[in-house]
Amino acid sequence: MHRFSPNQRSLLDARGEGRHREKRWKFLRDLMDRPEASGEARLYRGLRQIVEAFGAEAGLIGRVEGDALVVDQAWAPGTDLCAGRRIRLAEGDEVLELGEDALIVRNFAREARVPPLLARFGARTYLGVPLRVEGRRQGTVAFLFRTAHLELDDEDRAFVEVVTAWLGAEIARQREAEWLREAEARFRALVEQSLIGVYIIQDGRFAYVNPMLAEIFGYAPEEIVTRCSVMDLVAEEDRALVAETLRQQVEGEEDAIHYGFRGRRKDGRLIEVEVHGRRSIYRGRPAVIGTLLDVTDRKQAESRLQRALAINQQHLEATLDGYILADTEGQIMDVNPSYCRMVGYTRDELLAMNIRDMEAQLTPEEIAARIEVMVRDGRARFRTKHRHRDGHPIDLEVSITIIQPEDRPLVAAFVRDITEQKRAQEERERLIAELEARNAELERFTYTVSHDLKSPLVTIQGFLGVLREDLEAGSPEDIEQDLAYIGKAASTMQHLLEDLLNLSRVGRKTNPIERLSMAELVEE
């Protein structure tokens, strides 16, 4: 069995130098000021320092689970007591009151029966202090002494409780550090695969960048962290903006900021980036954590779109056709100058109107039904009438296209004023009808003239045959009569031809007005 050597000059020893207050304060300062150690090493060294300062043979931090004491940390040189060990509690160990929420001191004389837990390590005195971590009971800090007698007054107890409280605080810090390590590991696992750049800026340099941010600027992540300042990745013209924004965040003037600037890649090419940054604490000091997105392609696309929109607007303003943009309720949202000229209203006046105010042909119900059909079919062509400011109707030819923004469909209409075209069409149709009527009249007249001209010719042809017979018969009187009939028929034809000639001149020459005898006209 291991034999411990007694420590006659411990900080719990009341003999010789009294309470050793100065030594205790120096011990506490030394205990709490160990910057070279952290985590488990700091806790282990601290427990060792306390055990040695108390003059104990062993010390442990543990908790009771069932019938065993689970050791979380231990200092017991020359023994197998170590962190992670499970010590089975035997009959007699209950007197140590390991689960009590109070400071316990148990002294066992040489002739008394020593609890198995103490006997296991050759100890005869037990000092147990409840361990609290962040205000909750987390087990017991136990010190084992070879001496058979230990007395503590109130000041001793306070000193022991302060030391134990430091152990609880160290465990809490250790757990917090572990949680932070795990959180950082989860953070890295998440952002390492992100398609968006992620960064942490501290003291004007990058404390962390993920692979995507490095790729955006054409570097490896370690190059940015070890070699680049923040301003190395910012175009010269935008460095003042970025520096001021970071200052506002670090100093707490702005908690979160969303802005854009021009970045400079490793190859010197400028890119457009968009940043969301938020003030944070990283490893105990102020920092800025955020995301960065390369929006160069989007900016270029937006620029092309703006140029296209400007060109389209120029076309709309220059075209002779009118343009109307309205929602499905008929509310006018945009018009071009040509439509304003067509209807005599200003653009501002039209934007306050509904298409129903302009329609001069359909009822409001018919307009709603037409819009419903247009939205369903996506396009339409038709003719309608709009009302001019002065009240006269305007004939329009309309071409409709339904456009589909994200929120609702809109009706885009190109309209052409066909009032004069329609008037010319109506005049053409009137003239065609008149011409057709005159052609019909001419056809009837031609038939009559043909009949009247044919009658003298028939007479002449008939009497020519008779004349031939009378010439063969040698009858002068009959011949004379035949010639008279032929001459009269020829004279009648001549009159008819002269009348036709005079009729052809009607409309080309205005004849003077003269009086006519109706009796003579009827006789003729």
- What confidence tier does 14 reach under pLDDT thresholds 50, 70, 90? very low
Query: What average pLDDT does this structure show over 465-473?
Result: 81
Say what the pLDDT of residue 358 is.
94
- pTM of the predicted model as reported, rounded to 2 decimal places: 0.46
Q: What is the pLDDT of residues 24-36, one digit of tens each?
A: 778 877 777 765 5
Nearest-5° angle of CA 191, CA 197, CA 202?
90
Q: Of 73, 90, 89, nearest to 81 (Cα)?
A: 73
Say what the pLDDT of residue 201 is.
94
Output the average pLDDT for the chain.
85
pLDDT at 15 over 80: no
What architecture is domain 321-417? 2-Layer Sandwich (3.30)
Query: What average pLDDT does this structure show over 196-212?
Result: 93
pLDDT at 2 over 70: no
Asked whether the domain spanning 321-417 has the same topology as the one spanning 192-299, the reply is: yes
Q: Which CATH class, in words, describes the domain spanning 423-508?
A: mainly alpha
CATH code reported for the domain at 21-179: 3.30.450.40
- What confidence tier does 246 reach under pLDDT thresholds 50, 70, 90? very high
Q: What is the pLDDT of residues 39-75, one digit of tens each?
A: 678 888 888 888 888 888 899 999 999 999 999 999 9
Say what the pLDDT of residue 347 is.
93
DSSP 471-514: HHHT-HHHHHHHHHHHHHHHHHHHHHHHHHHHHHTBTTBPPPP-
Residues 6+ apart with CB under 8 A from 280: 200, 286, 287, 288, 289
Distance CA 374, CA 400 (A): 8
Structure tokens at 337: 């100058």
Query: What average pLDDT does this structure show over 418-435?
Result: 89
Distance CA 39, CA 138 (A): 18
Say what the pLDDT of residue 454 is.
78
AA identity, residue 31: L
Q: Domain extents for the chain? A: 21-179, 192-299, 321-417, 423-508
Say what the pLDDT of residue 18 is.
47
What architecture is domain 192-299? 2-Layer Sandwich (3.30)
pLDDT at 202 over 70: yes
Distance CA 308, CA 296 (A): 18
Distance CA 180, CA 333 (A): 56
Identify any residues that bridge with 208 across adjacent strands, giving them in sequence order: 200
Chain mean position to CA 34? 52
Q: Which range is least confidently modeled, 2-11, 68-77, 124-133, 422-431?
A: 2-11
pLDDT at 303 over 80: yes
